[in-house]
Amino acid sequence: MRDQAKKPRGRAAKAPQNAPPATPDAAAPRGTPAITTALRKNVRQRRSGVPNAAAQQEELLPPELLQLVGGTLMAADLASASLVCRLWSRSLRGGVSSLTTHLLADAASNDAKARSLASALPHLARLHVNFGARCDAAAIAPFFSSLRKMQRLRELRITSWVPYAPQKGSAPLGCYAPLELGGITSLVIDGAALSANDMLSVINGAATATGLVSMSLLPNTWPYLTQLDPFQVPAWLQPAQPGTTFTGTPRMPSSSAATLLLCKLPNLGHLVIANEAGNQAGFFSELQRLSCLSSLDLLTGAPVQSKSLQILSSLTSLTELRLQPALNAASESLEEHALLGLTQLRRLGVRLARRPAEPLCRDLCALTRRRAPALIELELSKCVWSAEASACIAAMTSLTRLRLERLECVRPARASASASRAAMSVDLQPLMALRGMRCFEVVAATGSVAGVLQGIGKLWSAWAPTLEDVRLVDLSVAELDPWSTLPALGQCGALTSLRLLLREPMAPALGVIDIGSLPASLRQLALRHAVLTAGPATETRMKALESVSLRQCTVVRPDAEPQPLGAWGPETWWHAALLRALPALRSVELVGMPHLRDEDFAGIGALTALTSLLVCASGTIEVTHASLQAISGLTRLRQLRWHVGDVTDLLPDVAALKGLSSLVSLHLPSYLHGQFSRWSAYNALPPLCDVHVEMPLP
């Protein structure tokens, strides 16, 4: 009897094997989520030695569901969730298909990282690799050479954060030499400029891929949404010789790059590359031999000559063509008609160099009617507009993306004021016939021949069911028609990106943009010269908004009375509350905000998911370097562009930057660079942080 009444010590008594498991809802106390109780129950069962604890866990959350959850988690959350049990670790990591990583300065760590990615993430399909100037070629080589072990990797993007600051070392020349791609089908190289040797290494590495069909070489490009120029290097840091890059080495000529592409990648289907000024005909002649090329995006360069267009028209397999350099402005021939030989073309973008848009639009309309693969994307830039061109575009009912940049008109020599005003207007109302429009972009022109846009406010109601992306740049308030545009944009339920960059300030009486009234699907928002607020429904409605860019905007309280822009006092400003109402933000850009203060940065410090922050407040006395203390807890911040103060300010508190443990890119104006160098403040930065020195932003 004494033995029977004795209480067990140490481990708890084992539960009967045939006892039915308790449901999580029944076992969970009131107010506690069922999943938390289930996890605690599973931990107790593992400690008690129940043999089917993993089976009960698998019945509770199947591995397929855990894989879906793992594909949406950040790196830190994924690491924490993987420590729950072996089943969670295997299922969560197996569901990750997209990952962003940063390389370290030592080869051993990068080698271990590559081996762990290959073994722990078997379903990894998209990888974004970042590295800075502290990573030399020897440190990067083990990671790049191990890419072939990732069997299911299909999309690779490499971004090099290479500053042109002498204190941080030179660019890692030769870092792409050990690149081995294996089964990768899409390769994107962006960030710093590529030297001739690096370009050769990239093409040689791409030749190791068994099925590469898409390659984008985008040097000197910015990977974040911004309204400013990506990089403005000071004059005293610019290369001495013209035509050299930030790495100090000359670029490879385009014809040589095309020759290498032909020899190494004859099956290439998608290409994005810059065209240099020399030997343009040779460049296009080499591209002509790429028989499988279906998409070509030609970046800035010399104007495209007539002979080059004739060669380009022989690429009958092209379905996508974008020529950012303008067509030759010679008046004796119309080279754009050579593009009509591309019968399979579905996406076209050209700059007409102040030529009439009517002939090209009329031919494209006729070509679209008599062939099966209709044109779905059209970009026209710097062309002379007319009502006939608008009618021809409206007849292309298959268009889903339309971009009109800097439309010009012909001013009549002798006409009345009303006739001259009518001739200089660009009526976009006929475009309402394009019922399948998904992306619409207008960049207004400035100058004596600029066309005045009309009818924009009537487009949104016709496009509301399908419209996803809206970009209105350099528009006047009258062209925007805020009375019709602002309410109608809130009805576009599929809208994911909105860029509204006005040329002049908008009076509050014309409209205040309530972010909470915008579509709940919105993910990117960029505003300039606007008055905005955050209503009560902002935090619960705008959960998908990840990127916000504000330039010269005024943020007021929801109950503020409409007044002139300069009449509002400090009690009306609403910056911190606006940012707190958007907890999912990952990128924030604040440029020239007239009423921004130090205490408003507390709202930025509450954005724990923030990865990119740009603050441009040079010369503003209300914003000082003390604001760094408020954002020192942003442990996920990777990129910081800090233009605050002027040459008379003291050195900022570098200790605040130590808390930004994930910081890899710090952009400073030239006057702050001098103070950092004088006091050796660069040594106090996080170990992976590189510094980019640039001119003070406007």
Helix (H) / strand (E) containing 309: helix 306-312
pLDDT band at 23 (very low <50, low <70, confident <90, very high): very low
Is 342 a residue whose pLDDT tops 70?
Answer: yes
For residues 531-557, give the mean pLDDT. 89
Helix (H) / strand (E) containing 405: strand 401-405
Is 229 a residue whose pLDDT tops 80?
Answer: no
Instruction: Assign 3-class secondary structure to 484-549.
Output: HHHHHHCCCCCCCEEEEEECCCCCHHHCCEEHHHCCCCCCEEEEECCEEECCCCHHHHCCCCCEEE
Neighbours of 253 (CB within 10 A): 16
For residues 550-560, give the mean pLDDT. 88
Distance from CA of residue 593 to its chain's centroid? Answer: 22
Neighbours of 170 (CB within 10 A): 12
Helices (H), 181-241: 196-207
Which of the two residues, 307 and 215, has the higher pLDDT score?
A: 215
Which of the two residues, 436 and 422, has the higher pLDDT score?
A: 436
Instruction: Assign 3-class secondary structure to 126-187.
Output: EEEEEEECCCCHHHHHHHHHCHHHCCCCCEEEEEEECCCCHHHCCCCCCCCCCCCCCCCCEE
Cα angle 284, 289, 290 (rounded to 5 degrees) comes to: 95
Is 14 a residue whose pLDDT tops 60?
Answer: no
pLDDT band at 25 (very low <50, low <70, confident <90, very high): very low
In 3D space, the residue among 335, 406, 336 whose CA is nearest the CA of residue 364 turns out to be 336
Q: For residue 13, what are its two tokens? A: 């008594």
For residues 25-45, give the mean pLDDT. 40
Average pLDDT of the chain to the nearest whole number: 75
* Domains in the chain: ranges and CATH: 346-491 (3.80.10)
CA dist 537 to 482, 514, 533, 581, Å? 22, 10, 11, 9
pLDDT tens for each residue of 592-622 = 888 888 889 988 999 988 989 999 988 778 8
Is 438 a residue whose pLDDT tops 50?
Answer: yes
pLDDT tens for each residue of 167-180 = 443 455 677 877 88
For residues 324-349, give the mean pLDDT. 66
Q: In this structure, are residues 500 and 529 in contact, taking their beta carbons and an 8 Å threshold?
A: no
pLDDT computed for residue 286 by the predictor: 76
Neighbours of 160 (CB within 10 A): 26
User: In the chain, what percentage of residues exceed pLDDT 70?
Assistant: 72
pLDDT tens for each residue of 58-88 = 456 677 777 777 666 665 566 677 777 777 7
**d(C-alpha 663, C-alpha 654), whole Å:** 13
**d(C-alpha 693, C-alpha 668), whole Å:** 5
**d(C-alpha 544, C-alpha 532), whole Å:** 18
Q: For residue 44, what are its two tokens? A: 């107790």
Is 190 a residue whose pLDDT tops 90?
Answer: no
Neighbours of 547 (CB within 10 A): 19
pLDDT band at 551 (very low <50, low <70, confident <90, very high): very high
Q: SS3 of 89, please?
A: helix
Instruction: Assign 3-class secondary structure to 471-483.
Output: EEEEECHHHHCHH
pLDDT computed for residue 676 by the predictor: 80
Is 46 a residue whose pLDDT tops 70?
Answer: no
Is 5 a residue whose pLDDT tops 80?
Answer: no
List, in sequence order, every residue forming a beta bridge with 45; answer none if it has no partner: none
Most confident of the following: 37-41, 342-346, 492-496: 492-496
Is 468 a residue whose pLDDT tops 90?
Answer: yes
Min mean pLDDT across 94-98, 408-412, 489-493 is at 94-98
Which of the two residues, 467 and 696, has the higher pLDDT score?
A: 467
pLDDT band at 415 (very low <50, low <70, confident <90, very high): low
pLDDT computed for residue 467 by the predictor: 93
pLDDT computed for residue 323 by the predictor: 80
Neighbours of 412 (CB within 10 A): 12
Most confident of the following: 24-33, 47-56, 471-480: 471-480
- Do the strands 531-533 and 554-555 form a parallel or antiparallel pair, or are they unpaired? parallel
Q: In this structure, are residues 534 and 581 in contact, taking their beta carbons and an 8 Å threshold?
A: yes
pLDDT computed for residue 334 by the predictor: 45
pLDDT band at 526 (very low <50, low <70, confident <90, very high): very high
pLDDT computed for residue 326 by the predictor: 65
pLDDT band at 447 (very low <50, low <70, confident <90, very high): low
pLDDT tens for each residue of 273-307 = 766 555 666 777 777 777 788 888 877 666 777 77
Q: Is the pTM of this model over 0.75?
A: no
